Structure 1
Amino acid sequence: MTTDPVDLSARLIRCPSVTPEEGGALQLLSGVLSEAGFDCVRVDRNGVPNLFARWGARGARSFGFNGHTDVVPVGARAEWTRDPFGGAVEEGILWGRGATDMKTGVGAFVAAAVDFVRETPPDGAIILTITGDEEGPGRDGTRALLDYMATEGEAMSVCLVGEPTSQQQIGDMMKIGRRGSMTFFIEARGVQGHAAYPQRARNPLHGLIDLLARMTATPLDTGTAHFEASTLQVTTIDCGNPANNVIPARASATVNIRFNDAHSSGAIIHWAKELMAEVTQASGVIFGLRTEVSGESFLTPPGEFVALVRDAVQAETGIAPELSTSGGTSDARFVKDHCPVLEFGLVGKTMHKVDEHVEVEQILRLKAIYGRILRAYFA
């Protein structure tokens, strides 16, 4: 009997696993996988639930899947037309929080892996790393799983992340990399004073505006072979000054940067500090900089692994997927330090929205694609 990915996905949706709550989702998966012969280990860290599962011998050539069962909050529950944790299937549609991002991706690859090892036990291992922290800070989820694997001598030869990558129809896009993401929190320090006597003060806003103008005057680049141009966006400027006749002492700004493989986060930080030094010399305004790096840019170059996944997608859908590096970040940014990693999943049009849903046919098709990928890899 084959494993129904729609039923498994619906059961996962019924687990209220809003980050960082486990909600029963990993318990459910552990039961399904253990019954199929997978060795399952909970790798919880700092209250974050994670599951490691392996079928086959440790140290063997292995195919890995990565995904998450945590979901974002439902928002205004009264706006939902169905129970966000009901997992209802109506007229060929599965409804609920996580229906696209990404309990169906997990349901599809778990179902494909279970059926594969039962029907055609592979010469090698299948490893599943499933976290409850992808929608949260990301510090104790897939990172914890990779740390556990390093300690225990576990390894994936390649990994496929089941994030929703398709745009209009399943199969039209797969991710071979992602842009890096970082945020600057900038503080400008001047001297407070009366607006009528600017010579007795030093306006931090003027220096900050100058700095931001220099940052945005010229694009960071025009793109690379596999990436769009990097972007830099000023997202807020604040000084907390309620008076119209006072030059404030401090001002702040936040800048978000999405960068391609022409840069590293360190190089961009160095560039920003050089601009700050120039503005300080010109204006006397002093700058402080705090940075948060969500992930570096990475690329899995077209080659054997990319071709295997692309060909499997095309065989099942009739569509040659676009090889893309667009979009935000995913846990692939952590996996890329462990092994070659790609992302492929269903259409994500409703992810994080009220009345999140997906067509049942997509889930069935996704399981078939993942199964074909496994057969091709271990052929």
Structure 2
Amino acid sequence: MLPRLMAVLLLSGLLSGSLLAGLGDATAAKAAAQTNACVPPGGWSDAAARPLNAADLLRRAAASPAVLLGERHDNADHHRWQLHSLAALHALNPDLAVGMEMFPRSVQPVLDRWSAGQLTEAELLRETNWPKVWGYDARFYLPILHFARMNRLPVVALNVDRGLVSRTAREGWAAVPAGEREGVGDPAPPPASYTERLRQVMAAHGPTERRSGSFERFVEAQSVWDRAMAERIAETHRRTGRTVVAILGQGHIEGRDGVPHQLADLGIRNSVVLLPWDEDRPCAELDGRIADAVYGLGESEAPAETPRPRLGVMLEPGPDGVRVRSVTEGSVAAAAGLTAGDLVVAAAGSPVREASDLTTVVQRQAPGTWLPLTVKREQGTAELVAKFPAAPVVE
């Protein structure tokens, strides 16, 4: 693409002094815009966009019982920021533990062997069943895992099996027997601000998800999820005396409503919430309470990646397949005719026995391709075709 563009510019005689001057003006304008950004790249600000002294902030964080580093799971810059923040905290306090949302409690023995230097990367990913359990690009997380192992820091599995969360959303927490809760205690009731944020998330889904009972179970499931991770953080800190640096999705910590709220209920009220702040994120979201501090990220130098294909459904386990819990309006799934209650039993001719079987097939879809789906309904079996949009042409 670049050679073609350069050829066009040369042939048209546009590489002139006036163009170079224009590029200089554009660069200066961009620098000025960054200077005036609500969170200037390369600096820390508080939740109201006031600049912070980095040394003072990091010293406070390194002395706290828990530091929560948020992320968007598919954003490479967020993971780079997490790694550098972890390194800065370690320089001030070598007695750290690294908690990770990406692993369920059941694989803790595997993580212990990793931290002790007893596993290769391939063995770690295989024994934790990374593609099925988490699925996001492991290259985003391996530098953090290597940093922990290089410094012999414990890596702590913060999560629970996804089935526990989805079961809570389907049946309610009270319906889950105590012996099947993976040791998770009853979550503290969520604050109103968290409930409202989750309501906005649910608004993107179909009418089935807007029913009161369904929404209440959804909020309960999120609270159980937050509670599980908070318990692991609190238990690790109290058992080891280490500051736990937790790597987890920003939705679990923004506004101190999710994991920080559950930590406070567990007696840890002085956790520190830190977030990366993307250049294009609206300044209005700096509402004075979103985090203890945010770090400004400039424009990414990484090449743009093709967005992951998305079907646009919420799934739950079903008999001999996965059941569609809801369908996002305007999505590929909606256009294909999928509806809430459908049982997906095959995709591209391959059996679908659990949600990961379907998501794996979907994520392999190239732009502009069609995916045959076999679903069971009360009326019988139906054959549907999910048509994924073509990738936009970049010139």
TM-score, normalized by length of structure 1? 0.21
Larger helix fraction of residues? 2
Larger strand fraction of residues? 1
Higher relative contact order (CA 8 A, sep 6+): 1
TM-score, normalized by length of structure 2? 0.21
